[in-house]
Amino acid sequence: PSAALALLCGSVAAVGVWKWLGKRQIQKKMEEARRTRDEGVKKMAKAVQQFREQVPHVQTDAILSLPLLELTERLQEGSLYPKTVLYTYLEKALEVTQQTNCLRHFIPECEEQLQEIQQQREKGLLYGIPVSIKDHIGHKGHLVTCGLVQCLGTPVQEDSVLVKVLKRQGAIPFAMTNVPQSLFNYDCSNPIFGQTLNPFSHQKSPGGSSGGEGALIAGGGSILGIGSDVGGSIRLPSSFCGLCGLKPTAERLRWVLGVWCTHLLNVDVFSRPNPVPCALGPMARDVDSLALCMKALLCQDMFWLDPTVPPIPFNEEVYSSSAPLRVGYYDTDGYFPLPPCMRRAVQETRGALQAAGHQLVPFSPPRIHYVMNELFLKTFFADGGHAWLDVFTGDIVDPNLKSQVNCCKIPKLGKKLLALILKPLQFLLLLKFKNIATISTCRSVKEMWNHHHQIEVYRTEFIARWRELRLDVVLCPVLGPAFTTGYPGKLLTAISSTMLYNVLNFPAGVVRVSTVTEADEEELKLYQGCCDDPWDRTLKQAVAGAVGLPVAVQCVALPWQEELCLRFMKEVETLSREK
């Protein structure tokens, strides 16, 4: 017995030491990553200082205030030099990241790209424009981390297709921006690089998962950025940070990722075709910038480098049209009621569009509860969340993700018991809790393919309703205003407004139209949501204290009609600025 006890104690001690060594190894990797980032920041600050000494009279504020279209025009004609613009934005990016922690890493090769574009025979559409890119968009010689320790090992061996096209169009990728751990959160923090803050209020989140992009552009440190969207990850940061952002039809733009990051994005968890694909898209200060970026990317270089991208160039005629539109609209999807200011934004925009001569038609998305519970979340948790949990193996889970991770860790029997316990409760409460703890899974390949089929059936139903009303576009709400940091992880179900158009794979964009007023804040005190349950009260807490923060709306078009979506966004932007 004494020998057995000694063996048991020794085994327990060995396991304890092994775990301690594992955690220590993780800490060392994170410290090294942070040290590398900090060294890169210091080197870039030194390079900026040297440029300042060489060219002391740069009109920084004048350059930073130029809209993208005017900046490109000045660069093309030679009245501004790419080097001056690059170092102006590098200097501003250093300032913004010091305040918001939005950068994961500067791209020192931007100086090499500066030399490259000056040797190009023709100036591309983005000649001399500094561009920031999201952490997981591959750039040669740099890591794709997704905020995970086990992704800190091997740098990307070549540029992604999208980065190659940006460079061929004369753009200068200069920074990679921070993301939430595993990308599956609409806050923006991870254990390696920390929490990114909203430049308008440091108590608020910039949104996610393209939150680093949102903070950098809103803070003035970038004029154009590239994000990705699989549930709202371009549109939510655009809403929280007062930007314009476009999620195109997923196949309109593509980029080549490493196998690991593809797995993280759940793009390859299922056999193809992917039921809810990830989309790349631009983020900027105005709609014209988004249109110019799409025009630049939808070129022969893109179609040649990636033949899976349909060779459909940007349709300038559709974007420039001024014909009246038939606009469907709704201010709530009936699933998760949004704060009063977001509904006000839709109602005011609807009135402005009507006064401008457009035809407004009430529209209601069909079966939104079914879409949220059965189609969207079942896509990502078809295996009960095991594939997602695997990415945290040998990692430290970010506090903002712990509630979702813990729910996925509940054994299958526990989830079934939980579902039985919840049955007598209010229907909506059941729906909201089901999303995170009792979601059904695909138990066989047959069920998985049936799930894919049900998504196609729903798309057909939605398009039929759209066609029946003869709609051109749809105006609808987007989640906002900016949440207090830490709250997005508690309210996964609140993203129904954006998630719907990922399931449908429709192009959708966000435009800032207003700001939160004192009256909005007073009305929020009366907000009860659906039934004043814990989720409704949590949302109320998340958005409180937002006076002066941006308020946005969402604009939607049918698949492959990005130009029409952008044209509608431009109309909304123009009317809101006039107001």
Catalytic residues: 134, 209, 233
Annotated binding residue at 17?
no
**Distance of alpha carbon 32 from alpha carbon 28, whole angstroms:** 6
Distance CA 102, CA 196 (A): 5
Q: How far apart are CA 94 and CA 219, in angstroms?
A: 11
Secondary structure in 3-state letters for 323-335:
CCCEEEECCCCCC
The tokens of 548 are what?
């002066």
| Structure tokens belonging to residue 359 | 């035809």
The answer to whether 210 is a known ligand-binding residue is no
User: Tokens 């390696």 correspond to what residue?
Assistant: 192
For 413-471, give the secondary structure using H, E and C.
HHHHHHHHHHCCCCHHHHHHHHHHHCCCCCCCHHHHHHHHHHHHHHHHHHHHHHHHCCC
The answer to whether the annotation marks 231 as part of a ligand binding site is yes
3 state SS for 343-397 = HHHHHHHHHHHHHCCCEEEECCCCCHHHHHHHHHHHHHCCCCCHHHHHCCCCCCC
333 neighbors 264 (Cβ within 8 angstroms): no
- Binding site annotation covers 230? yes
Is residue 515 classed as helix, strand or coil in its secondary structure?
strand
* Cα radius of gyration rounded to whole Å, the chain: 24
Task: Give residues with Cβ within 8 angstroms of 402, minimum separation 6.
Answer: 489
> Per the annotation, does 351 bind a ligand?
no
Cis bond before residue 209 (omega within 30° of 0): yes
**What token pair was written down for 9?**
């104690």
Contact 435, 372 (CB under 8 A): yes
How is residue 463 written in tokens? 């398009």
CA quadruple 455, 457, 463, 469: dihedral, nearest 10: -130
Binding-site entries for substrate: 183, 209, 230-233
